[in-house]
Amino acid sequence: MIYLDHAATTPVPREVADAMYEVLTNQFGNPSSQYQLGLDMKKQVEGWRKTVADALGCEPKQLYFTACGTEGDNWAIQAACWQNRHVGRHIVTTAVEHSAVLECCKWMEQQGYEVTRIAPDGKGSITAEQVLSAVRSDTALVSVMMVNNELGNVYPIADIAKGLAAKNPKTLLHTDAVQGFLKVPFSAKALGADFITISGHKIGGPKGVGALYIGPRVRNPRPLLAGGGQEGGLRSGTEATAQIAGFAKAVELRTEDLADKLAHMAELKAYAVERLTAIPDLTVISDGTAPHILAVSLAGWPSQNIVNDLSAQGLCISAGSACHQGKPSHVVAALKLPKKTAGGVIRISFGPETTKADIDACADALKNHHDNRMPML
């Protein structure tokens, strides 16, 4: 099998699985228990929190473990709106956010909020000026993702943060950095966002664990769930210690020689562009500069047919976000591409383990699909 869908999820290294197994079998204490087994686990959890916080560039006390990126996004949006409930009931986001943000914003609309969704240009780009021009005196929250999960476009979060400080300093800023964490360089302290969402399974960690950074401008953040008071009283529920251990180990492994890994992925992406654009009718559709995501279109050939054909050949690519489960992508729709181009969009995404041989195999399979399948769009 050749796996080229790292934006959907990533393979779990043996060291991560071993760290989780040790916790599941020998270090299974509840961190809230007051006997030694529980106290030892509490100390372990705080060590793992520091590992992730150091990689994110924040203080451990600013990092709260969650079950996933979706939870972090929902928590951030609702907490920001609660804090700024007296500022106003307006939210600014983009039309190409992950569904975890867009669906939560729809829910907020049902609570009486007005949502402005910034549209990208035809290459998926969104500028800080676009976002800031939509901000009003009653804007409670701006939520803009760091890296688009389907296109690889990197959005100017630091510039948005600086602009907000000048235009409306009460407005809080959230960024979904699930595709940015340890993929593009940034530090929470320098970025300026008030909330940053990350997820474990996008960097070699297990599914079922993520984290939310909450910055110093957020006062008494409202918990998403009420319960036993874990995570400083802000995220109740017994800590998923094995998943947290795996998350921290994945961070350790990914941060080793990180610059070399990012350079390797960027080199692979450039090589993939060279190989794939030699295929007739195939074009790159995005200006995305993230090193691990490449969106292309085989115009006229339905994307799901391409995915199915390559899957039969042992290659894993995507027709877009895995969260769409085969449905048309709102991200591609926002680009307003010609029908044949939009219908043929596929996403290829890389990891540190990806090789040029993997790219060659993908290019050969796509060329074979083009030459031996009739266009249908």
The domains of the chain are located at 2-10+257-372, 14-255
Q: What is the distance between the alpha carbons of residues 272 and 250, in angstroms, rounded to a whole number?
A: 26
Q: State the catalytic residue, choosing from 58, 68, 81, 323.
A: 323
Question: What's domain 14-255's architecture?
Answer: 3-Layer(aba) Sandwich (3.40)
pLDDT in the model for residue 377: 64
Assess whether pLDDT exceeds 60 at residue 128: yes
pLDDT in the model for residue 358: 98
Output the six-digit token pair for 269.
């992406």
Q: In the sheet where 293-298 sits, what is the strand order?
A: 282-284, 293-298, 345-349
Q: What is the distance between the alpha carbons of residues 80 and 188, in angstroms, rounded to a whole number?
A: 17
pLDDT in the model for residue 287: 83
The stretch 366-375 carries a mean pLDDT of 87
pLDDT digits (tens, 9 = 90+) for 225-268: 889 999 999 999 999 999 999 999 999 999 999 999 999 999 99
Indicate the pTM of the whole model: 0.96
Distances (CA, A) of 64 to 61, 210, 225, 231: 8, 9, 13, 6
pLDDT digits (tens, 9 = 90+) for 9-31: 999 999 999 999 999 999 999 99
Q: pLDDT grade, residue 224 (50/70/90)?
A: confident
pLDDT in the model for residue 322: 47
Render 36-63 in DSSP notation, one character per residue: HHHHHHHHHHHHHHHHHHHHHTS-GGGE
323 is catalytic: yes
Average confidence score pLDDT of the chain? 95
Q: What is the distance between the alpha carbons of residues 98 and 102, in angstroms, rounded to a whole number?
A: 6
pLDDT in the model for residue 205: 98
The CATH number of domain 2-10+257-372 is 3.30.2180.10: no
pLDDT digits (tens, 9 = 90+) for 184-199: 999 999 999 999 999 9
Output the six-digit token pair for 165.
């400080």
Residues 6+ apart with CB under 8 A from 127: 156
What's the CA angle centered on 105, arms 120 and 53, to 5 degrees? 85
Q: Do domains 2-10+257-372 and 14-255 have the same CATH topology?
A: no
Is 159 in contact with 128 (CB distance < 8 Å)?
yes
Nearest Cα neighbor of 335 from 287, 277, 280 is: 287
